[in-house]
Amino acid sequence: MGWTDTPEDRRRQHLQMIATGNIRDLDRIHERDRRRKINAIIWFLFILSAVFGVVFWNYIPIGYWLIGFALLFLIILIFRYGLHRKIKIPKRGRNNRQSKDWEKLKFLPDWAYRKMKKRRKNIVNGDHYVYKREGNNFYRRKK
């Protein structure tokens, strides 16, 4: 596929990336568009199978299958949007106390900054706490 065979909007996007941005941005744009198209197809199939499943629930036994497909598409959508990661399930047991969760801090002790920089790590062990850095946020938890 040559340069003249590519669609006009892609050519414009490519020239814009050469002039102002990074080619990785163009890849991200295409990947985002592809994900949106897949999500739109799955939403369409979910709604279509749910509506036809409810309509044909009592008349044709295929209504049960359509409701099953609707539930399958719903599960796929939940995993595609990452909603399963946002559910907090409390853990049981003696070792999984609330104190094992990471606590957000505004500042770290001075030695922790130096140790992180020296070792080129984002997590360091202290006497009583473990400190870590994620971007510009700092956290600690008990050992």
Please write the tens of the pLDDT for every residue from 82-103: 877 777 776 665 555 555 688 8
Q: pTM of the entire structure? A: 0.49
Please write the tens of the pLDDT for every residue from 62-72: 888 999 999 99
Which residue do the tokens 């400190």 mark? 131
| Cβ atoms of 79 and 112 closer than 8 Å | no
Please write the tens of the pLDDT for every residue from 18-43: 556 666 777 888 888 999 999 999 99
Distance CA 60, CA 53 (A): 9
For residue 99, give both structure tokens: 């104190």
